[in-house]
Every structure is written in structure tokens, then in C-alpha cells.
């Protein structure tokens, strides 16, 4: 694995290998007082974030530190053309400073692909190599989120293959949904997207999943449900009539929780909008896997850094 840009680049064996590594790292570190492995000592990991983020950036930073990598956080704001230095120049500058891995979050879909392309071209002339990890690009993908979701589902369900997973909400603007559809289907799950037509992209029919509009009808047959955040700006964008109607139609409340089979895990990539897509009582119910997802996020990102910088372990 050279970069991690899209789940589409992972076959089932590679994805499973990453999840297995994450699981082993978790077991290794479990209960340890000093949670630090020497694996990436002397390696430099830079997070380059063009968007506000707490959990993803901190998660990568913790992952790097637990592997003994030197981690550096760069927060860059603004788009290339309007505000000075281009994305190309910024990313090549960071590569040139010796970054072994650059973790990128950017509001433009495909930004990580572009940076990887520039880095590879530069590597061709300088002989140095920088791995690029996509930590969320526009409305395209968020591969490590899908990996941590799959890790959580494996823990809760034993396996992902053959399970029916519902993803509910703003699929149109969700990079989490795109990565999850790809990864879960690659791992053999049956994915159902549940959303109003206005929040589904044209072309979704060609995705490896099924599409539904009625949440209540789907809940009883789901093995897990993943709620997507509804961003505030969508509420005023005419995608649905009102926050109240959305919450009534697509929010996961206690009544709907009862429609799910007993103990069905409820996932949410966060940050949650309590009372909108998820009721507070559901967010805090035993089914809710939200904090487990966050914990697994660190191990999954350790696994990604491990595979990228140290090579896949035997």
C-alpha cells in the first residue's frame, strides 16, 4: 500500500489485513500502562488539515504518537487560488521537509488524489517517498472512518460478511457514507441507504447497495444502523422542509430503537446533533457504539500508518 486515498483501492484481503492489524494492536495495548510501541520511531507524520476537525486529527496524532512517530500538525485554511499558496506548493513543501506520511483533510473532493499525484511525481525526481492518507476530501471519501466503523461492527457482530447494515441520512454530502458503502460491500455486507430522494446522489443506483426511503420499514431487518450527521447548512438548503420533519421521518428515536432487533448496534461518525438525527436517549443507550468507534479509530489509524510506513506485517 503506497497511499490510502479511497476505499476503492482496497480489496477484501487488504482491508481485512488492516482490520486484523488494528485488532492485534488493540489487544497488545489493552491494559498497558505505557501505550507506546517503537515501530515508527524516527518517522515523521504530518497532519495537514484544511478543515476544522477535532476527532480525526487528534485520533491520527494519538495513533502516530503511540507508534513513536514524530507527529506534526499543520492547520491550513482557505482555498489555493483565493488565498495565496497553492495546494500543490504547500503539500510539496511539507513533503520536502521530510514527511514520511501526510494526512490530508480538504474541502475539495479529490484533493488527496492530487497531492498524491504531485508527491509521486516529485518522488520520481528526488527519490524520496511520501505516503498520503485521505482524512476526508470534500464529499468524496473518508477511508479511515469506514475502517473504524468496520472494526466496530466486527467487534459487535463477530463479522461483517452477510450482515445487513443501514446507513441513514444525508448520503448526498457524506464522505463517510461513500467510504462505508464501498468497504462494507467489499467485505460482503448488504448495505441499505435510507434517505429522502433529495439527500441521495443521482447515480446512486449504480452503487453496490440498495436504496430505501422509509426508515421504519427497514429497521426490523437490520443488523446494524449507522446514522449520518445532518449539517446545519443543509437544513436551510431546501433539501427537506424542516428540521422537525426530518427528525420525525429519519431521526432515530426510542420508538424506532425498539423496532430494531434487540442489541442492534447503533453507529454515528460524530459529531452528533442530538435531537436531530439521533435522540439523546438513543445516543446514550447500550446499543450505541459511538465511543467504541472513537477508540477503534486510534487502532485503525495505527494500523494504516503501520502498513504504509513499515510495510504490511507478516
Partner 1 sequence: MTDLLNDLLIRNARPYGEEAVDLLVQDGVVTEIGTGLAAPEGTEVLDAGGHVLLPGLVDLHVHLREPGGEESETIETGSHAAALGGFTAVFAMPNTDPVADTAVVVEHVRRRGEEVGLVDVHPVGAVTTGLKGAKLAELGTMATSAAQVRMFSDDGRCVNDPLIMRRALEYASALDVVIAQHAEDHRLTDGAQAHEGAIASRLGLAGWPATAEETVVARDCALAREAGAALHVCHVSSLHSIAVLRAAKAQGVRVSAEVTPHHLLLTDGRLTGYDPVNKVNPPLRTGADTQAMREALAEGVIDVVATDHAPHASQYKDTEWAAAKPGMLGLQTALSVVIHTMVEPGLLDWHGVARVMSERPAEIVDLPDQGRPIAVGEPATFALVDPDAQWTVRGAALASRAANTPYEGMRLPGAVAATVLRGRITARDGKVVA
- Residues within the interface to partner 1 (CB under 8 A): 79-81, 86-88, 106-111, 113-114, 117, 137-141, 175, 178, 201-207
C-beta of 114 vs 163, nearer to partner 1: 114
Non-local (6+) Cβ contacts of 309 within 8 A are 40, 43, 45, 69, 100, 101, 131
Nearer to partner 1, 109 or 249 (CB): 109
Task: Compare residues 17 and 110 and give the one whose CB is closer to partner 1.
Answer: 110
User: Least distance from C-beta 87 to partner 1, angstroms?
Assistant: 5
The smaller minimum CB distance to partner 1, of residues 90 and 253, is found at: 90
Least distance from partner 1 to the Cβ atom of residue 130, Å: 17
CB of 25 to partner 1, least distance (A): 30
Q: How near is the Cβ of 71 to partner 1 at its closest, in Å?
A: 24
Q: How far is the CB of 207 from partner 1 (least distance, A)?
A: 7
Strand, helix or coil for residue 309: helix
Beta carbons of 231 and 173 less than 8 angstroms apart? yes
Of 106 and 256, nearer to partner 1 (C-beta) is 106
Three-state secondary structure readout of 76-92? CCCCCCCCCCCHHHHHH
Measured between alpha carbons, how far is 127 from 129 in angstroms, rounded to an integer?
A: 7
Residue number with CB closer to partner 1 (154 or 173): 173
The smaller minimum CB distance to partner 1, of residues 103 and 302, is found at: 103
Give the residue ranges of DSSP H helices in 86-174.
87-96, 111-126, 143-157
CB-based contact 148:21 (threshold 8 Å):
no
CB of 124: closest distance to partner 1 in angstroms? 16
Q: How far is the CB of 287 from partner 1 (least distance, A)?
A: 30
Query: What φ, ψ does residue 33 adopt, rounded to 5°?
Result: -80, -45
- What's the rounded Cα separation, in Å, for the pair 52 and 75? 8
Considering the complex, state which of residue 86 and residue 128 has its C-beta at the smaller distance from partner 1.
Answer: 86
DSSP reduced 3-state for 137 = strand
> What cell does 203 get?
447515480
**Element at 29 (helix H, strand E):** helix 12-29
Residue 127, Cβ density class (10 Å: 0-12 exposed, 13-18 middle, ≥19 buried): exposed
* 101 Rama sector, left if φ>0, alpha if ψ -120 to 50, beta otherwise: beta
CB of 113 vs partner 1, minimal distance in Å: 5
Q: Report the DSSP beta bridge partners of residue 63.
A: none
Amino acid at each position: 500500500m503506497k497511499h490510502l486515498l479511497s476505499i476503492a483501492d482496497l480489496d477484501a484481503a487488504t482491508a481485512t489485513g488492516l482490520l486484523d492489524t488494528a485488532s492485534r494492536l488493540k489487544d497488545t495495548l489493552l491494559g498497558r500502562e505505557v501505550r507506546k510501541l517503537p515501530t515508527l520511531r524516527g518517522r515523521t507524520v504530518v497532519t495537514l488539515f484544511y478543515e476544522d476537525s477535532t476527532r480525526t486529527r487528534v485520533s491520527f496524532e494519538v495513533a502516530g504518537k503511540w507508534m513513536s512517530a514524530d507527529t506534526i500538525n499543520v492547520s491550513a485554511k482557505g482555498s489555493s487560488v483565493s488565498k495565496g499558496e497553492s495546494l500543490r506548493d504547500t503539500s510539496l513543501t511539507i513533503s520536502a521537509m521530510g514527511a514520511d506520511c501526510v494526512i490530508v483533510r480538504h474541502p475539495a473532493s479529490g484533493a488527496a488524489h492530487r497531492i498524491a499525484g504531485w508527491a509521486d511525481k516529485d518522488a520520481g525526481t528526488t527519490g524520496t517517498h511520501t505516503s498520503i492518507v485521505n482524512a476526508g476530501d470534500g464529499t468524496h471519501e473518508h477511508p479511515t472512518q469506514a475502517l473504524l466503523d468496520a472494526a466496530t461492527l466486527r467487534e459487535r457482530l463477530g463479522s461483517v460478511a452477510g450482515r445487513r447494515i443501514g446507513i441513514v441520512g444525508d448520503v448526498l454530502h457524506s464522505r463517510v457514507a461513500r467510504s462505508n458503502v464501498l468497504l462494507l460491500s467489499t467485505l460482503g455486507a448488504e448495505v441499505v441507504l435510507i434517505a429522502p430522494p433529495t439527500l441521495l446522489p443521482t447515480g446512486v443506483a449504480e452503487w453496490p447497495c440498495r436504496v430505501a426511503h422509509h426508515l421504519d420499514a427497514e429497521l426490523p431487518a437490520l443488523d446494524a444502523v449507522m446514522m449520518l450527521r445532518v449539517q446545519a447548512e443543509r437544513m436551510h438548503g431546501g433539501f427537506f422542509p424542516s428540521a422537525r420533519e426530518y427528525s420525525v421521518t429519519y431521526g432515530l428515536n426510542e420508538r424506532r430503537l425498539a423496532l430494531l432487533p434487540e442489541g442492534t448496534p447503533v453507529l454515528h461518525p460524530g459529531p452528533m446533533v442530538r435531537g436531530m438525527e439521533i435522540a439523546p436517549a438513543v445516543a446514550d443507550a447500550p446499543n450505541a457504539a459511538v465511543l467504541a468507534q472513537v477508540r477503534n479509530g486510534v487502532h485503525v489509524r495505527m494500523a494504516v500508518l503501520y502498513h504504509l510506513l513499515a510495510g504490511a506485517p507478516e
